[in-house]
Structure 1
Amino acid sequence: MENYTYNSLILQLEGLNVSEESIYPLFLFLFFSYLFIMVANVSILVAIFIDKNLHQPMYLLFCNLSVSDMIGSTCLLPRLLIDMLRPPSERLISYYECVVQAFTAHMFGTTAHTVLMIMAFDRYVAICNPLRYTTIMTNKMVIKLTVSAWGVAFVLVGILLGLTIRLNRCRTMIMNPYCDNPSLFKLSCESVFINNVCGLTFTVVVFTFSIGSIVLTYAKITVVCLTSKNKSLNIKALKTCSTHLVVYLIMILSGSIIITLHRFPQYSDYRKLSAILFVIVPGSLNPIIYGIQSKEIRKLLSEMFQSKKMFAVK
C-alpha cells in the first residue's frame, strides 16, 4: 500500500528536468529574460509617468499590463532560478507560499485578459466616437476600468483557489516548475471533479468574454474604417489596433498552449516549457511592441538613455 503524507505544510517542486550541461545556459537565459522584463517595463512606466504628453487613457491603461507582467515574472522566475541551482530533493516550498504563488500566477494570466479587454474598449471609443472620446474616457473612467480589470480577476481567481484550498492533501510533489491551481488540487486524494469542472468553466468564461469583446470591438472598428473616407483616421486605427491585436494574440496563444498541454500528462516537459514561456514572452514583447508603436515613448526613452550615456562619459 502506498504511503501518504496528509496535509503536509512542506511541498516539493519538481522543477525543470534539464541536463547538467544545459542548466547554466538555461539559467542565464531566464535570468537575463527576467532582467529585461523588469528594465523594459519599468522604463515604459517611468516614461509614461514623467511625460505629460503620455498621460492619455491608452498609455495609462497599458501601465496595468506592465505592472501585471512585472508582478507575474517576479513571483515566478526568481524562485525558479534558485531552484535550478538546487538538487531536486531541496526544492522545497511551504504550502502557504505555494498558494500565494498559484494565486499570483493565475492573477497574472487573468489580468492580462481583462486589461486587454478594457484597452480594446478605449480603442473602440477613440475610433468610433472620436468627438466624445475626452468626455467618455475621463480620469474617473480610467480608474473605474482599472479597478474593474483587477477586481474581476481577483474575484475569479479567489473562487478558483478557494475550491482547491478546501481539499485535503495526501501528496507533496508539485509536478510543475511553479505552483498553479491544477498542480495544487492534484495533491488531493479526494474527488477533484468539481475542481476540474470549475477550472474548465473559469477558462471558458475568461476566454469567451475576452475573445468575444475583442472580436466585437474590432468588427465595429473595421466597419467604421471601411465606411470612413478619412485616411488619417484609418491609418491611426490600423497603427494602434494592430499593436493591441498583436499583444493580445501573443497572450492568447501562450495561454492556450498551457491549458491544452495540462490535459496531456505525457507532454509534461513541453507543458513546463510553455508555462515558463507564458511568463517570459508576453512580458518581454509587450513593452517592445508598445514602445516601437509610440513615437512619444521612443523619443523619451532615447533621450533618457542618451543622457545616461553622456553622464557616464563625463
Structure 2
Amino acid sequence: MDNPYNTSSFLIIQGFNLSSEYVFPAFLFASLNYMVILFCNLTLILTIVLNKCLHQPMYLILLNLPINDLIGTTAFFPQLIKEILMNTQTVHYSACVAQAFFIHIYAAGTVFILTAMAYDRYIAICHPFKYCAIMTNAHIMKIITLLWLSILFLIALLFYLLLRLPRCRSVMTNTYCDNPSLLTLVCADTSINNIYGLLLVTVTQLIANGTIMYTYLQILLACFRSKGSDTRAKAMQTCGTHLAVFLLLECIGLFTIISYRIKQITPQLRRFMGLTVLIFPPTLNPIIYGLKTKEIRDKVIQFFRHKILPF
C-alpha cells in the first residue's frame, strides 16, 4: 500500500527563475547587500562591546538589535545567494525548518527589542532623576534575559506544533522558508497551529504597540513641557525617527502575515513584502539606532581614523 505522506527530505521552493543575463547582477546585489549588513551590524556590536564608556543601559539594550539582525540575515542571505548561483529550487527539509525558525526568532526579536528600547527611553526622559536607580545593570540583565527566553519559548512552541504534523506536499509557496509556508505542506488539521499563530501575533502586537505608543506619547508630552529647546528638539527627533521606523516595520510585517490569509493578494507581492522585512531593517537599523547616536558615531569615527586610516 502506498504511503499517503510525503517523506522526501527535499522541498521545492518558488525561486526567482532568473534568466542567465540576470544571474550575476542578482548575485552581486545579494552579496553586496549581505556584506553591508554584516559590516554595519558587526561595527555597531564591536563599538559597544569594546568601549567601556558605552556599557550603559541604553547601549546594552541596543546591542541586542544588531545581534538579532545578524540572526535573521544569516538565516536568509546564504540560502538566497546559493539559490541564485546554482539556479536550484530545492532545499533540504531540515535546512528549511532551521531557516524558518531563525527568521521567526528575528521577527519576534525585532519587536521585543524595540519595545525594551522604548521603555528605556521612557525612563530616561520622563523620569531622569530615577533613571540610575531603576535601570541598574542587574535590571538590564533581567530585561534582556526575559526578552530572549520569551522569544525562544514562543517560537519553539510554534515550531513544535508544526513539526508534530505529517507532510504530504513538497512545493513551497514562498522564496524562503517560514511557518505559514511550511504549514501549506501539512496534510492534517492545522486549527491549533492557526489559533496559536494568530494568538501569538495578537498578544505580542498588543503588548508591543501598547507599550511603545504609551511610552512615546509620554516622551512627546515630556518634550513639550521641557523648557530646554535643544533637549526637546533632540528628543523629538530621535523618538520621531524610531517611531517612524517601528511603524513602517509593523505595517510591512503585519501585511506579510495577513497576506497569507487573503487569496486576492498575488504571490509576487507577498514575496516582495516578505523580502523587504529581511533586507531593509537590518540595513537601516545600524544607521538609525547606532550611527545617528553621537556617542557611537564618535567612537566609530575615532576607530577608523586611528586604526584603519592612521594619517
- TM superposition score normalised by structure 1: 0.91
Q: 1:75·1:105 contact (CA, 8 Å) conserved in 2?
A: yes
Q: 2:168·2:186 contact (CA, 8 Å) conserved in 1?
A: yes
Q: Which runs of 5+ in 2 are unaligned?
A: none
* Two-structure CA RMSD over aligned residues (Å): 2.1
Select between 194-203 and 207-216 the one with higher mean Cα deviation. Answer: 194-203
Q: Deviations over 1:128-187 (max 9, x none)?
A: 110010111111111111112211111111121111111110011222122110111110
Question: Residue in 2 aligned with 1:202?
Answer: 200
Q: 2:256·2:273 contact (CA, 8 Å) conserved in 1?
A: yes
Question: Residue in 1 aligned with 2:240?
Answer: 242
How far off its partner does 1:297 sit? 1.6
Q: Which amino acid aligns with 1:275?
A: G
The total of aligned residue pairs comes to 309
Alignment equivalent of 1:212, drawn from 210, 213, 233: 210
Inter-partner Cα distance in structure 2 for 1:269 and 1:23 = 19
Inter-partner Cα distance in structure 2 for 1:47 and 1:216 = 31
Q: 1:250·1:282 contact (CA, 8 Å) conserved in 2?
A: no
Q: 2:26·2:84 contact (CA, 8 Å) conserved in 1?
A: no
Q: Which runs of 5+ in 1 are unaligned?
A: none
Question: Residue in 2 aligned with 1:18?
Answer: 18
Alignment equivalent of 1:142, drawn from 121, 140, 158: 140
Q: Which amino acid aligns with 2:37?
A: I
How far off its partner does 1:216 sit? 1.0
Identity of aligned residues (%): 38
Say if 2:110 is the partner of 1:117: no
Q: Which amino acid aligns with 1:268?
A: P
Query: Secondary structure, in 3 states, of the residue corresponding to 2:227?
Result: coil
Question: Residue in 1 aligned with 2:223?
Answer: 225
How far off its partner does 1:251 sit? 2.1
How far off its partner does 1:249 sit? 2.4
Question: Residue in 1 aligned with 2:272?
Answer: 273
How far off its partner does 1:236 sit? 4.0
Question: Residue in 2 aligned with 1:46?
Answer: 46
Select between 19-28 and 36-45 the one with higher mean Cα deviation. Answer: 19-28
Q: Deviations over 1:7-50 (max 9, x none)?
A: 33322222224343333222211111110011001111111122
Query: Secondary structure, in 3 states, of the residue corresponding to 1:85?
Result: helix
Q: 1:120·1:217 contact (CA, 8 Å) conserved in 2?
A: yes
Select between 165-174 and 237-246 the one with higher mean Cα deviation. Answer: 237-246
Select between 217-226 and 104-113 the one with higher mean Cα deviation. Answer: 217-226
Inter-partner Cα distance in structure 1 for 2:21 and 2:259 = 26
How far off its partner does 1:309 sit? 4.5
How far off its partner does 1:77 sit? 0.6
Query: Secondary structure, in 3 states, of the residue corresponding to 1:304?
Result: helix
Query: Secondary structure, in 3 states, of the residue corresponding to 1:174?
Result: coil
Query: Secondary structure, in 3 states, of the residue corresponding to 1:15?
Result: coil
Pair 231,59 (structure 1): closer, same or farther in 2 beyond 3 Å: same
